[in-house]
Structure 1
Amino acid sequence: MSSRFEIEVEGVGVMRPVNNFQMARIKNISDHENREIAFVAFGLGMTIKQFKALPEEQRRAAWDAHSRLCSPAALAPEPKAQPDRPRLPRRFERVSDDKMIQIGRELIRIKDQLPHGHFGPWLKENSGLSIGQAQRFMRAAKEAQQERSAA
């Protein structure tokens, strides 16, 4: 599954932003040229040596993907919630089954757009829901989808 944080580089692999471990390794590279290459190579899940062995055309495509991934447009936050999207419940507010399913669908959509490990912090910052509440809402949406598929 591809998200806005991944770009397929034909014949090479999937470009992703570097993680904290990779960033720490990059900081320890003393050669300036290799440090720059490391961002692209590590983003593709390669070593610097493997990246340098790629044909020039594939390296250029990888650099383009890295530039698009790190561009301000790619890093911009998602647009604000649309008016037709369900309002998230307040703490201790009772939620109907229909509203729970609606919220669950929206949470699933948001979770699918975020990189692995970013959904929990997103919930904390943006929704006010606990992980348990979010899981219940998403489970209700999945069960409703399965019931619709079975019918």
Structure 2
Amino acid sequence: MVSEIEVTVRAICAEYEVEIVPGNVFPMPGQTRAIATMCQILAKHGEGHFRLVMTTLSETRGNNALIDQASLWAVSDLIRACPEWVDQRTSEWLEWWDRIPLGPIMATINQLRGFSHQRHALAGAIYYRLCTFSDERLAAQDTASTIKNKVPEVGQARRRANAERAIELGKQLIAIRDELPHGHWLPWVEKSGLSYGTVQRYMKMARAA
């Protein structure tokens, strides 16, 4: 007789389009034979937790082909160990899993079979990757914050540079005016392309500098 837990597991798997196949069948992408593990996780940690496990594995890039006992338990352990990532940064959590080369990691961990617990070794290897992604995010935030803080400084520097150019131009205008014969200054200004008000402002800044 099928238990209520197994009925729930099968229903949730159907929602995620994950087919449960017999234990003697090699699973293809979108299939799993780890029904017993799924039932254990659901019974131990509840439906919400189990759904997070299934979301992580079935809805991230290439990982729906890797739903087995070790990966299910590893994801379950990591969800419990990293609630701040899962609960507060869910979209990033899934994006990170898109980037994790789960297949190669599992193949490497499999070489330790008989020497190291597959579940724990896999969880540790994935956790290292997740920490790297989290550090990258924090570094990007720090860079963005630094740039944001630098914006006022850049604006101030630009204003200082503009003022310095205006003062220098004002000095040149004063020198030109002093060299021109009487009555030639205003015609010169009109031909210069500068407004008389701008010329006066630059000259005033030069005198005050």
- Same-fold call, TM cutoff 0.5: no
* TM-score for the superposition, normalised by structure 1: 0.31
* TM-score for the superposition, normalised by structure 2: 0.23
Higher CA-based Rg: 2
Greater relative contact order (Cα 8 A, min sep 6): structure 1 or 2? Answer: 1
Structure ranking higher in helix proportion: 2
